[in-house]
Amino acid sequence: MAQAKLGRSEQVTGWAFVAPALVLLGIFMIYPIIWSLWMSFQVGKGMNLSFGGWANIIRLTKDPVFIRALVNTCIFFVVQVPIMIVLALLFAVALNDPKLRFRGLFRTAIFLPCVTSLIAYSTLFKSMFATDGVVNNALIWLHVVSGPIPWLQDPFWAKVLIILAITWRWTGYNMIFYLAALQNIDRSIYEAARIDGIPAWARFTGITIPMLKPVILFTTIISTIGTLQLFDEVNNITIGGPSDATLTLSLYIYNLTFKFMPSFGYSATVSWVIVVIVAILSFLQFLIARDRRPAA
pLDDT for 100 equals: 83
| Weakly modelled stretches of the chain, pLDDT under 50 | 1-4, 294-296
Which long-range contacts link 182-189 to residues 24+ away (Cβ below 8 Å)? 182/92, 182/93, 182/96, 182/208, 182/212, 183/96, 185/211
Q: Where are the beta strands (DSSP E) in 178-250?
A: none
pLDDT for 296 equals: 46
- Domain covering 63-289: architecture: Orthogonal Bundle (1.10)
Q: Are 213 and 30 in contact (CB under 8 A)?
A: no
pLDDT for 2 equals: 45
Phi, psi of 51 (to 5 degrees): -65, 125
The Cα 167–Cα 175 span in angstroms is 12
pLDDT for 156 equals: 93
Q: Which residues contact 263 (CB under 8 A, 6 or more apart)?
A: 44, 45, 256, 257
Closest C-alpha among 79, 80, 81, 94 to residue 204: 94
